[in-house]
Chains A and B, each alone.
Chain A
């Protein structure tokens, strides 16, 4: 187990380097001059040259890349053009909000998906199954950009139950977490159902039944744990979608997280800040994937051996 984790941590190094390189390439190799974009087409050439020198964009590409990597190793992501504050400081201030939103959405997804998937999987083809899976396909299809405003109209503007936007107490968290978590809930519920349906046919469930265990207990005691591993795998695969969705959800609800920081940095053409945000998102994704792999290996010991 420990050896597996250590091995995965070592594999992290080249992946992180690749991610950093791709981020650098995105910002520095894609055609278009960021300095001209920042100052506008009509800017004086002297100003353009000045800013270019200030950002180090006048130096050869390999030197910029080396500086970027060296800074990264020290946790230095450069300085924001707009506020002249260190990018790492701005990101650190916003990151907890994004984490809070993502974890809350995850909880929402699990709380919806497990009852739904189990009800559906316990009696496939039944009325409850049809209802649950109908809800699931709707949940998958409704995009964040519409679910967010819809929930706002319903629960905030009409019923006045929760605040409209911003971050604060539990009330502020409800609608963003629902917006972000519903799609994931639907996907997980479908997977859990499918997995349970397969497990139901297995020999060990038949054995449990023949021992006189009730249907529900046989499934809960013997089926669920076995049905869980594909669900956890899928959860890992969906983390990218969750982080991407967080960006949109933050903008909808004016949630002061990393996603909204990135979008406003894009609007302000604050490229060092954009670069830092993209990199932080990508590295978080890599780490979360590692965590799900480890979790997967706790649930299913067979993985460790291979």
Chain B
């Protein structure tokens, strides 16, 4: 607890992420406006009592769309990070434990994927697969797994050199036992830190793909496609872009601070 009190990054980050997660979970139940209901009479209406964040060009309630967008963003981010972490951990772990030729072969493959800027890979895949939530998850997963593969491989290789692992090995512990009892707890910290930053990164990447028109398409509310749609009305109706823009910024800020805080905690322990 004392460690937490000296770690404002963790506390603020945790608070922000909790609030955003709560909005994503319960927001759509509390705000009854339909995020898809078109009302051309209310086109670009400024914030009012009925529509606290105003309306977009088609008269849809911006607050409702931001809340539904939060659900989508967090869901996509969670699925993508879990997916790419799982793939990365299996591949990185196999490379480290397999050693020798397997390691060389796998890591050369990872290097070639890493020779692409990650987001470019996601754009290329999204362009070929076509828009849609499912394809966005695939495209962003393909972008993310290499980082986790490298991290897990590096951590496993360095942990294997530690005395306590050597001791367990010399006592005759089986590989599975060493993996689960001695290696996994050791890599959990760095992996959690990277995954936390990853959540923020995926939220931005999803927003960017949707903004470019190759991610989640309208009318499904996504922060990215809301920003894109609001761009034409920057001067007359800045509220249309402000709400989703701040939502993205706060989410990323939350996950970044939480990641910083976790890194501090993990660093102190080791």
Asked if A32 is at the interface of the complex by the 8 Å CB criterion, the answer is yes
User: Given A153-B234, A266-B214, does the pair A145, B227 have CB atoms closer than 8 Å?
Assistant: yes
- Whether B116 sits at the interface, judged by CB under 8 Å, is yes
Apart from the given pairs A274-B127, A281-B120, 17 other A-B contacts in the complex at a CB distance below 8 Å: A19-B112, A32-B128, A138-B253, A141-B249, A141-B252, A143-B245, A146-B241, A146-B244, A146-B246, A146-B249, A241-B117, A247-B120, A251-B212, A263-B213, A266-B127, A282-B115, A285-B116
In the complex, B156 has a CB within 8 A of chain A: no
In the bound complex, CA of A286 to CA of B212 (Å): 24
Cβ–Cβ contact A146 & B248, under 8 A: yes
B31 within 8 A of A: no
B129 within 8 A of A: yes
| CB nearest to A244 among chain B residues | B119
Q: Known contacts being A149-B234, A153-B234, A274-B127, is A282 close to B120, with CB within 8 Å?
A: yes
Give the total number of A-B pairs whose CB atoms are below 8 A apart.
Answer: 132
Chain B residues with CB under 8 A of A243 = 117, 120
Task: Please determine whether A137 and B130 come into contact, CB atoms closer than 8 angstroms.
Answer: no
Interface residues of A in 219-271 (CB under 8 A from B): 239-241, 243-244, 247-248, 251-252, 262-263, 266-267
| Cα(A128)–Cα(B212), bound, Å | 38
Q: Which of B121, B128, B200, B224 has the most chain A CB within a 10 Å cutoff?
A: B128
Stretch at the interface among A22-30, A67-75, A195-203, A210-218: A22-30
B235 to A, closest residue via Cβ:
A157
For B214, list chain A residues within 8 Å (CB).
Answer: 263, 266
Q: B125: CB under 8 A from chain A? A: yes
| Given contact pairs A19-B112, A285-B117, A149 touches B231 in the complex (Cβ within 8 A) | yes
Give the contact stretch, choosing among B19-27, B75-83, B94-102, B203-211: B203-211
Residue of A152, A244, A267 with highest tally of chain B CB at under 10 A: A244
Is B113 in the interface zone, CB < 8 Å from A?
yes
| B231: nearest chain-A partner, CB-CB | A149
A56 at the interface (CB under 8 A from B): no
Q: Place the interface of chain A in its size category.
A: 35 or more
Q: Known interface pairs A30-B128, A157-B234. Does A145 touch B112 (Cβ–Cβ under 8 Å)? A: no
Bound Cα distance A142, B245 (Å):
8
Give A143 to B206 CA distance when docked, in angstroms. Answer: 11
Contact A143-B125, Cβ < 8 Å, known A149-B234, A241-B117: no
Chain B residues, CB < 8 A from A162: none
Give Cα A244–Cα B238 distance, bound, in whole angstroms: 26
Residues of A within 8 A of B212 (CB): 247-248, 251, 263
Q: How far is the CB of B150 from chain A (nearest CB, A)?
A: 12
Cβ of A93 under 8 Å from chain B: no
A139 to chain B, nearest CB (A): 10
CA distance A23 to B125 in the complex (A): 10
Of the listed residues B123, B230, B250, B260, the one surrounded by the most CB atoms of chain A closer than 10 A to its CB is B123
Interface centre among B234, B250, B257 (most CB of A within 10 A): B234
Chain A residues touching B, majority SS: helix
Q: Does A291 contact B (CB under 8 A)?
A: no
Whole-angstrom CA separation of A296 from B95 in the bound complex? 29
Given A15-B112, A143-B208, A153-B235; A23-B119 close (CB under 8 Å): no
Q: Does B47 contact A (CB under 8 A)?
A: no
Chain B 216-270 residues near chain A, CB threshold 8 A: 224, 227-228, 230-231, 234-235, 238, 241, 244-246, 248-250, 252-253, 256-257, 260
Residue B118, interface by CB 8 Å: yes
| A82 in the interface (beta carbon within 8 A) | no
Alpha-carbon distance between A197 and B256 when the two chains are bound, in angstroms: 21
Q: What 0/1 pattern do residues 166 to 202 of B give for CB contact below 8 A with A?
A: 0000000000000000000000000000000000100
Assess the B115–A15 pair: CB atoms within 8 A: yes
Q: Check if B124 sits within 8 Å of A137, measured CB to CB.
A: no
